[in-house]
């Protein structure tokens, strides 16, 4: 609509503009002022019409007032400014040519109507909006209440159905609510816990910090804590739990409740204790085992200044014999009885008895005064073993050897202490057993443990720590040197020269005997070859080499021997292999086969230590042997003069039997001329012993033989 300049329409628009400018700053509308002006323009038109109408229409004024509210001029200041505007400008811009006084009066009445209409509309709008927001709040509360109800029902289901125990207490400690799982854990009814205070639920096993944590929590200084805690059940038993306590705060963050979640760990704990017991105790005797003993020993050794320890290491004498002759069941019963007796010897605080394994036991005493205590302890143990043990109607005498180690804490490791005790115990055993010995550092240093030697053996062979000494074999008829027995020695870097009795059993045990035996054979045969070269026309010296039972069963024995002989250029007849009588007891054809083959080749087989085993003399016929070596025990009776007549008879019988089987007889351990003479008369063929020469280096033997030949 275009307006003629200063025409009625233009003047109406100017009124609307003035009006909108007056009202806009106090409206709440998001419209722009010009948009507001567009909204006011029709209102202005209605005001003009009412102003110019013949009869004043108050409804129009009221409608315009109400329309102001609809246009979001809800601030009463908007009404005030609108009325000012109507008062000042309506007649001026819209009054046209009418009588001013009438127009003014009409405008004034229109203002009254506008005010009434505005007030009415604002009141209705306000009430409607209040109603709407109240309704909305109510609906929202309904929704929330419903959701709360649902969530509460869910929470209750979780609370009641949970497998873990849940309890809620106020900050004073009053237990407000507990669930079924918690009641079941405590094994009681609701009354057991309801109305009790958290602080009453103490238990002697409570960790020191347990209640400190609780106090911090209820003071709001900590949000939660986790601990293992015991509770007393009404029936007096203990309930162990994994306990988590959390602080519940209200909406303002102020502490309100404590919430406890607990898991029953009683069974698991018992199981753990049992597993721990089983892992640390010997199943047969129920005594603490090696593991627990080492724990205690290490604890004792780690104790502070002034603390000492005393250790008795007990090994039963001859237990193996009992086990072998009466069977393991009897052996076990004996061990149980011994364990019980030992247990009764160490009952004071700081004392313990353990079984390390087999027939080895230890008793430990700790404290400041173990120097005296450990002797008493060893004495009690020896006493406890005196009374015979009755098993299967037999009275078995039990004896033991004890090694004692005593000293201050903090100097030695558990392994060192035990090693010292072990060595000392062996010292007691070597001294005849049934006694105790005190550890002595010098003896310890000298002592060579089987373990140490065993582990050093393989490297010793690689490093060439073994060497061979030769002991001459002398012909009793003419006194000439006929050969020598090769005897292996170990030049140990710490312990010096060790004889075969110290390491051959170990080498047999570990299987090292096979390479070691092969080396001895190789070296001895090579030596024999050397003697043969030097001897020229004279009779070549023979060589005797010991074969261990392990070597006998080794499949390479024959081939190795043949190879070695060939390589050294030595005839089989120059070699004699010595086999102990005990190795051939009960030997079947399979075992004898390699020996037979060697014998067929011309190698002599000697039966060593003859007379110590229980070989059937008749059995000699089927063995591929050509030499008997009489054990030294037979010749000991001939060292004095006159010789033991019984020994003489026995040796004479053996020689006669041997010769009738076409076997030569060699005697060992000849130490005197009288002995040598006696043996010669009895018909023995060759002899060896200190009377002729001790074992020595190969050159000495060569010299002896030369002297012999020239002599």
Partner 1 sequence: MERPAWAPRSIDISVPSVSRIYDHYLGGSHNFEVDREAARKAMEFMPGLPKISQANRAFMRRAVRYAVGEGVDQFLDIGSGIPTFGNVHEVAQAMSPGARVVYVDHDPVAVAHSEAVLAGNDDADVVAADLRKPREILSSPQVSRLLDLDRPVALLLVAVLHFVEDADDPFAAVAELTAALAPGSLLVLTHASYEGIPLPPERAGGAVDVYKDIRNPLTMRSRDEIARFFEGYDMVEPGLVPMPHWRPDTGPEDEDPWALSGFAGVGRTA
Report, in Å, the least distance between residue 82 CB and partner 1: 15
Quick check: helix, strand or coil at residue 663? coil
Q: Is 464 left (phi over 0), alpha (psi -120 to 50) or beta?
A: left
Report, in Å, the least distance between residue 141 CB and partner 1: 5
Quick check: helix, strand or coil at residue 293? helix
* 449 is a contact residue toward partner 1 (CB under 8 A): no
* 153 is a contact residue toward partner 1 (CB under 8 A): no
The 3-state secondary structure of 379-407 reads HHHHHHCCCCEEECCEEECCCEEEEEEEE
23/605 with CB nearer partner 1 = 23
Report, in Å, the least distance between residue 91 CB and partner 1: 27
Among 105, 137, 275, 348, binds partner 1 (CB under 8 A): 137
* 348 is a contact residue toward partner 1 (CB under 8 A): no
- HSE-up (13 A, CA, CB side) for residue 307: 16
Among 53, 148, 163, 271, binds partner 1 (CB under 8 A): 148
* 136 is a contact residue toward partner 1 (CB under 8 A): yes
Q: What pairs with residue 169 in β-bridges?
A: 175, 258
Tokens read off for 707? 């002297």
- For 198, list phi and psi in degrees, rounded to 5: -55, -40
Note whether 603 and 627 are within 8 A (CB): no
Q: Whose CA is closest to 688, among 471, 543, 500?
A: 471
Stretch that binds partner 1, among 28-36, 168-176, 341-349, 398-406 (CB under 8 A): 28-36
Tracing tokens 């045990």 back to the chain, one arrives at: 509
Q: Is 700 left (phi over 0), alpha (psi -120 to 50) or beta?
A: alpha
Among 135, 510, 559, 656, binds partner 1 (CB under 8 A): 135
134/681 with CB nearer partner 1 = 134
Using alpha carbons, list the distances in angstroms from residue 362 to 201, 358, 405, 451, 473.
43, 12, 11, 19, 49
* 343 is a contact residue toward partner 1 (CB under 8 A): no
* 132 is a contact residue toward partner 1 (CB under 8 A): yes
Q: Show the site string, 579-618: x = touches partner 1 by CB under 8 A, - = not.
A: ----------------------------------------
Please, which of residues 46-105 interact with partner 1 by CB under 8 A? Answer: 72, 74-75
135/191 with CB nearer partner 1 = 135
143/617 with CB nearer partner 1 = 143
Helical residues (DSSP H) of 265-413, grouped into ranges: 266-280, 290-301, 319-326, 328-345, 370-384
125/680 with CB nearer partner 1 = 125
Report, in Å, the least distance between residue 220 CB and partner 1: 13
Residue count of the chain, please give it: 711
Stretch that binds partner 1, among 147-155, 292-300, 326-334, 389-397 (CB under 8 A): 147-155
Among 3, 53, 248, 709, binds partner 1 (CB under 8 A): 248
Note whether 669 and 485 are within 8 A (CB): no
Among 53, 105, 133, 415, binds partner 1 (CB under 8 A): 133
Note whether 283 and 332 are within 8 A (CB): no
Instruction: Compute the chain's Rg from CA coordinates.
Output: 58
Stretch that binds partner 1, among 29-37, 203-211, 522-530, 555-563 (CB under 8 A): 29-37
Report, in Å, the least distance between residue 4 CB and partner 1: 26
Note whether 574 and 602 are within 8 A (CB): no
Q: Show the site string, 163-182: x = touches partner 1 by CB under 8 A, - = not.
A: --------------------
Report, in Å, the least distance between residue 166 CB and partner 1: 16
Stretch that binds partner 1, among 24-32, 318-326, 434-442, 501-509 (CB under 8 A): 24-32
Rounded to an integer, what distance in angstroms lies between the CA atom of residue 541 and that of residue 530? 10
* 157 is a contact residue toward partner 1 (CB under 8 A): no
* 263 is a contact residue toward partner 1 (CB under 8 A): no
Strand-strand pairing, 686-687 and 308-316? unpaired
Among 14, 125, 492, 700, binds partner 1 (CB under 8 A): 125
Among 88, 105, 150, 163, binds partner 1 (CB under 8 A): 150
Q: Whose CA is closest to 563, among 579, 575, 549, 580?
A: 575
Report, in Å, the least distance between residue 263 CB and partner 1: 21
Strand order of the β-sheet with 165-170 is 175-178, 165-170, 255-264, 238-249, 224-232
Using alpha carbons, list the distances in angstroms from residue 75 to 25, 71, 88, 110.
10, 11, 21, 20
* 154 is a contact residue toward partner 1 (CB under 8 A): yes
Q: What pairs with residue 688 in β-bridges?
A: none
**Count of residues that bind partner 1 according to CB under 8 A:** 35
Stretch that binds partner 1, among 133-141, 306-314, 409-417, 677-685 (CB under 8 A): 133-141
* 140 is a contact residue toward partner 1 (CB under 8 A): yes
Q: Is 389 left (phi over 0), alpha (psi -120 to 50) or beta?
A: beta
- At CA 68, angle to CA 62 and CA 72, rounded to 5? 145
* 38 is a contact residue toward partner 1 (CB under 8 A): no
Report, in Å, the least distance between residue 3 CB and partner 1: 20
User: Measured over all CA atoms, what is the biggest interatomic distance in the chain, rounded to whole angstroms?
Assistant: 186
* 226 is a contact residue toward partner 1 (CB under 8 A): no
In this structure, the number of other CB atoms found within 10 A of the CB of residue 80 comes to 15
| Helix pair 370-384, 328-345: axis angle to 10 deg | 140
Among 156, 184, 212, 249, binds partner 1 (CB under 8 A): 249
102/129 with CB nearer partner 1 = 129
* 32 is a contact residue toward partner 1 (CB under 8 A): yes
Question: Residue numbers of the site for partner 1 (CB under 8 A)?
Answer: 24-25, 27-35, 72, 74-75, 125-126, 129-130, 132-133, 135-137, 139-141, 143-144, 147-148, 150-151, 154, 248-249
């Amino acid at each position: 609509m275009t307006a003629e300049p200063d025409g009625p329409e233009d003047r109406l628009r100017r009124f609307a503009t003035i009006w909108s400018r007056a009202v806009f700053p106090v409206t709440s509308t998001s419209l722009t002022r010009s948009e507001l002006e567009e909204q006011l323009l029709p209102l202005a038109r209605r005001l003009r019409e009412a102003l110019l109408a013949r009869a004043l229409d108050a409804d129009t004024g009221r409608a315009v007032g109400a329309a102001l509210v609809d246009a979001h001029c809800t601030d009463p200041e908007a009404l005030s400014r609108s009325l000012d505007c109507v008062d000042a400008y309506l007649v001026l811009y819209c009054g046209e040519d009418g009588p001013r006084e009438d127009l003014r009066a009409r405008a004034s009445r229109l203002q009254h109507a506008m005010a009434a209409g505005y007030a009415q509309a604002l009141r209705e709008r306000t009430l409607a909006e209040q109603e709407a927001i109240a309704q909305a709040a109510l609906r929202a509360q309904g929704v929330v209440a419903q959701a709360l109800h649902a969530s509460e029902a869910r929470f209750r289901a979780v609370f009641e159905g949970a497998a873990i125990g849940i309890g809620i207490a106020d900050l004073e400690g009053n237990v407000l609510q507990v669930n079924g799982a918690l009641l079941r854990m405590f094994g009681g009814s609701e009354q057991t816990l309801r109305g009790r205070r958290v602080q009453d639920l103490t238990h002697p096993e409570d960790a020191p910090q347990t209640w400190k944590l609780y106090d911090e929590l209820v003071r709001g200084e900590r949000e939660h804590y986790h601990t293992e805690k015991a509770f007393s059940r009404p029936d007096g038993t203990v309930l162990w739990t994994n306990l988590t306590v959390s602080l519940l705060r209200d909406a303002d963050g102020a502490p309100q409740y404590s919430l406890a979640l607990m898991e029953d760990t009683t069974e698991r704990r018992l199981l753990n204790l049992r597993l721990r017991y089983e892992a640390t105790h010997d199943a047969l005797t129920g005594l603490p085992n090696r593991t627990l003993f080492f724990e205690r020993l290490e604890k004792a050794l780690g104790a502070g200044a002034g603390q000492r320890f005393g250790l008795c290491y007990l090994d039963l004498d001859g237990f193996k014999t009992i086990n072998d002759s009466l069977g393991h069941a009897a052996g076990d019963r004996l061990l149980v009885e011994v364990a019980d007796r030992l247990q009764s010897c160490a009952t004071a605080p700081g004392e313990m008895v353990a079984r390390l394994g087999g027939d080895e036991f230890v008793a430990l005493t700790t404290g400041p005064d173990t120097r005296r205590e450990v002797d008493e302890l060893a004495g009690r143990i020896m006493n406890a073993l005196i009374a015979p043990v009755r098993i299967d109607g037999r009275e078995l005498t039990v004896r033991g050897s004890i090694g004692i180690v005593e000293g201050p804490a903090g100097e030695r490791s558990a392994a060192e202490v035990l090693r010292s005790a072990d060595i000392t115990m062996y010292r007691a055993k070597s001294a005849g057993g049934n006694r105790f010995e005190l550890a002595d550092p010098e003896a310890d240093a000298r002592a060579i443990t089987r373990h140490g030697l065993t582990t050093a053996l393989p490297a010793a062979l690689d490093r060439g720590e073994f060497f061979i000494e030769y002991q001459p074999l002398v012909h009793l008829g003419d006194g000439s040197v006929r050969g020598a027995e090769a005897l292996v020695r170990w030049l140990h870097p710490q312990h010096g020269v060790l004889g075969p009795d110290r390491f051959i059993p170990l080498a047999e045990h570990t299987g090292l005997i096979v390479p070691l035996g092969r080396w001895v054979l190789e070296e001895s045969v090579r030596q024999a070859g050397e003697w043969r070269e030097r001897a020229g026309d004279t009779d070549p010296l023979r060589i005797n080499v010991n074969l261990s039972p392990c070597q006998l069963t080794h499949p390479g024995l024959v081939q190795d021997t043949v190879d070695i002989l060939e390589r050294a250029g030595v005839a089989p007849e120059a070699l004699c292999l010595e086999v102990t009588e005990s190795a051939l007891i009960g030997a079947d054809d399979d075992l004898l086969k390699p020996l037979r083959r060697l014998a067929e080749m011309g190698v002599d087989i000697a039966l060593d230590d003859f007379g110590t085993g229980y070989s059937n003399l008749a059995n000699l016929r089927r063995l591929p042997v050509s030499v008997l070596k009489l054990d030294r025990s037979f010749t000991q009776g001939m060292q004095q003069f006159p010789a033991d007549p019984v020994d003489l008879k026995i040796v004479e019988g053996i020689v006669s039997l041997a010769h009738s089987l076409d076997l030569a007889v060699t005697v060992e351990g000849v130490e005197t001329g009288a002995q040598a003479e006696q043996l010669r008369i009895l018909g023995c063929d060759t002899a060896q012993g200190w009377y002729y020469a001790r074992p020595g280096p190969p050159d000495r033997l060569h010299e002896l033989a030369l002297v012999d030949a020239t002599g």
